[in-house]
Structure 1
Amino acid sequence: MKMPSLTTVFESPLFHFVTRLRVSHKIWIGFGLLITLVMLVAGLSIHALNRAEQQMSRVVDVSQPAMLQAFAVTEALNRANGALGFYLLSKEPRDRDEYESMSKALDQGLKKLASLPVIANDASLRQRVAEIRKDVDRFLAYQPRMLELAVNDNKNFPGVGFSAREMAPLASAVQQNLGTMIDAERDEDATPERKALLEELAELRQLWMNELIANRAFIAFRGDRNVQNLRLYRDGFMDKVGKIKALGEDVLNFEQAEAIDNIDRIMREYFKLQDKLIAVHNSDKWRTDAWLLRSEIGPLVSRIKQ
């Protein structure tokens, strides 16, 4: 756009009109223009303040309750998850009560959040809260199982349950057969050969007791050293069984020969189960509650808090 020249400006009627005005008139006109400008700025400022007040009112009346309720839900989730961890370690009733109480608060708090107008009237927020609801329901669904694991070692520690259920009956059977072999020796003459056999049987029984003690130590402490002890006593016991079995009917009486055959058969089954125990009890799932917290509940809580 071409700017007007100075000559054109000076020759314009408006310029001639202004130049003919008195100085006092010019002052009043300037003052009037200034007042008009001030009023315009003030009007714009008032409009902006009114708009800001409306927005603030919406935050206070609508958005703030939703934000505070969301914080309350997060707080309940954190406290429920923390109380669960404490209860699994302490087994204290107060930690269990806190876990149950905060789980209820979490459920009720999320229901209240979903019912707020700012959530109910916004499709995207409704969808987000619905997704959180699904994850919270999954979190709450763990409660019965976690409470049971806290008081049931056989279920919480798969190795403990496996050992008690599968291995303990076989261990008792070996002990019974060892007792049978020793009792059967009472009817024999006290010859040097019989005394030597009795010493072998006593040593065999001690090796078996050492094996059982090592098995309990592995369940209690796990670790490579405990596995080595298990296999050390296992090898010693199997070697001794083979040595006694090789004596045959020339030394062993009928009851002893039958019992050593039983021991040989049972111990092989027992040691196969023991290898399974080692695999289970040395895995990441050796403690079920800790594995669930680490692999399932923990990621679920993190996803809810996001």
Structure 2
Amino acid sequence: MMNMLTRFSLKQKAIAATIVLVLVLLSITLVSLVSFSSTQERLTKVTSQYQPKMLSAMQLTSHFYHSLSVLGNYLIEKDDYNMNLYREKVNDINSTLTELVNLTNLNPELDDSEQLLRIRQLVDKIITHNISMLELAQNNNKNMPAIGIASSKLEPIAINMNQIVNDLLLATAINEQQSILPLIEDLRYNWIMLVSEVRNYLAFRQLPTIDEIALFKTGVNQSFEALEIRRYEMDDDQLDLLDEFEANTAAYQAALVQAINIHAGNNWRADRQLMKQNITPTLKELTKELEVLVTKQQRRIHESNLALSKQISEAENTIRFSIQVALAIALLVIFLSFKNKRLLSDILIHKESERKLFHKAHHDTLTKLANRAFFDDRLFKMFLDQETRSKRRSKRENNLEINSYFFGLLYIDLDGFKAVNDNVGHDAGDFILIEVAKRMKNVVRNSDIVCRLGGDEFAVLLNDINHINSIEKISENLCKTISQPYHYKEQVLNVSASIGFSYSRHPQLPLHKKVKFRMEAIIKQADTAMYHAKENGKNQYAQFK
């Protein structure tokens, strides 16, 4: 071997070493290129599949709960506005689910197809149940069987029997049978009261009313028995009327027993049974499936980020090694640096995409305000920040201002917005919402947060409040600003605001409990105060006492 090496000149050895070095560097370069290619592929999957799929699953959950809320409003109001809003939500659900399916089809190797098929079946099932709920809302007789019995049996019999009693009373008066007249009057009184109490029970479903029904039912029977004893004094027409009354009484009481048994039972409303037995369990199952889908995407994003970090680190080490080994292959180093810059550019694009997706998920598309998700997250953090400040101050010797810091929560509902929406149109309603959002942001401080919770409901989180007077001043300014006229297409529109507020140091807040319970409590306080403001005349604010 040594003899072979001595045959080559120094120049030849240098050339050979250079060739070997170039081959090694070429191998390193090829490995780097493969690594860059794999990194770009992972970035593409994260930005175009995993994150959009996770966001779509979260939006689908939000659409479903919102659709049920709108459906509940429709069952109460039974208006076109809520029905149209419900149809829009169903369209949102279908489009979001279609988007999920399309994203899954982009990457067939992932095991999401079967899960999406189950989600599709659950979605169709809930929508079918919702349609049944709407049908029940349009048909009280079907929704409440006892009402159906009353309409088809009890009321027709009651009307007929009223006529029978009146005819019997008239015939007795014509025959001048003064001894029988009081008995028929008693029968008519007891019958009228029985029918009235039956209607009262079917309308309000109050248990004491059943005792009143039994009382007047007994009165009818006793009055009839008293007339039966005097049959010998009656003519044929009176006897026929009395017999007809007896037959109708038996039919009425049989139908009454059936109606009361149904109305007093647990299944007296079909829509409640449908919600309890079908919609709620199916919705829980759907929510669980969507949570699993979101968790799966989060895991994939996490794994991809770890792999990306590792690949980026390896690529940087390779480039650094190549530069240290040979400046002679500068062209190759420049090429690798160019690839590295391209990779960093892709990462920046990836981060910007993440930022945009986060902003979209936490802000309202119409008003550009923070949405419910952002509101819940920020309220949670504000309670945690308040705890941290209190603990930090409690360690100081001069602890005079432990409770000086707190924050306020305003709950705002627009007065007259529904009238604008119904009478002028949804475009006008959107214009009002956008203008209200601008006016509110102009009133509050830069450190405060204005949120749109949904529909015409808003909330404002007020930071670093030292006195309740500050909250009252801001609430008063919001009322004045929002109630100013709105000029829309040569029309002048008017809405106002009812505002309820509470604050984080309110004595009725459960400060010893977890943040979750305090969040629920302060939201309930502000919401209650807002409804007090509405009840007191609207276009004003109220503090939760």
- CA displacement 1:71-123 (0-9 Å, x = unmatched): 12112111111111111122232222221211121122212211214676146
Among candidates 102, 120, 123, match of residue 136 of structure 1:
123
Offset of 1:48 from its aligned partner? 9.5
Amino acid at match of 2:191: W
- CA displacement 1:16-37 (0-9 Å, x = unmatched): xxxxxxxxxxxxxxxxxxxxxx
More helix by share: 1
Aligned equivalent of 1:8: none
- Structure 1: stretches of 5+ with no match in the other structure: 1-46
Q: Does residue 280 in structure 1 map to residue 262 in structure 2?
A: yes
Aligned equivalent of 2:174: 187
- Structure 2: stretches of 5+ with no match in the other structure: 1-33, 289-545
Q: Does residue 66 in structure 1 map to residue 53 in structure 2?
A: yes
With over 3 angstroms needed to count, the CA separation of the structure-2 counterparts of 1:119 and 1:229, relative to structure 1, is farther
Amino acid at match of 1:61: S
Offset of 1:217 from its aligned partner? 0.6
Distance in 2, matches of 1:123 and 1:252, equals: 90
Query: How many residues in Structure 1 have an aligned counterpart in Structure 2?
Result: 258
Q: Is this contact kept in 1: 2:104–2:110, CA < 8 A? A: no
Amino acid at match of 1:66: K
Offset of 1:261 from its aligned partner? 1.3
Distance in 2, matches of 1:117 and 1:95, equals: 33
Aligned equivalent of 1:258: 240
Q: Is this contact kept in 2: 1:63–1:118, CA < 8 A? A: no
Offset of 1:295 from its aligned partner? 2.1
Distance in 1, matches of 2:246 and 2:50, equals: 76
Q: Does residue 93 in structure 1 map to residue 80 in structure 2?
A: yes
- CA displacement 1:247-274 (0-9 Å, x = unmatched): 122x122111111111112111211111
Distance in 2, matches of 1:70 and 1:230, equals: 54
Distance in 1, matches of 2:111 and 2:251, equals: 60
Aligned equivalent of 2:155: 168
Q: CA RMSD in A?
A: 2.5
Among candidates 62, 65, 71, match of residue 75 of structure 1:
62
Instruction: Give TM-score scaled by structure 1 length.
Output: 0.77
Aligned equivalent of 2:328: none
Among candidates 247, 258, 278, match of residue 230 of structure 2:
247
Q: Does residue 108 in structure 1 map to residue 95 in structure 2?
A: yes
Among candidates 277, 280, 293, match of residue 298 of structure 1:
280
Aligned equivalent of 1:233: 216
Distance in 1, matches of 2:107 and 2:262, equals: 49
- CA displacement 1:193-223 (0-9 Å, x = unmatched): x223111111211111100100011001113
With over 3 angstroms needed to count, the CA separation of the structure-2 counterparts of 1:168 and 1:202, relative to structure 1, is same
Distance in 2, matches of 1:86 and 1:248, equals: 58
Q: Is this contact kept in 2: 1:119–1:125, CA < 8 A? A: no
Offset of 1:50 from its aligned partner? 9.0
Distance in 2, matches of 1:186 and 1:246, equals: 19
Q: Is this contact kept in 1: 2:267–2:273, CA < 8 A? A: yes
Q: Which has the higher contact order (CA 8 A, sep 6+)?
A: 1
Offset of 1:188 from its aligned partner? 1.2
More strand by share: 2
Offset of 1:146 from its aligned partner? 2.4
Larger Rg: 1
Distance in 2, matches of 1:162 and 1:236, equals: 23
Aligned equivalent of 1:25: none
Q: Which 4+ stretches in 1 moved above 4 angstroms?
A: 47-57
Q: Does residue 221 in structure 1 map to residue 204 in structure 2?
A: yes
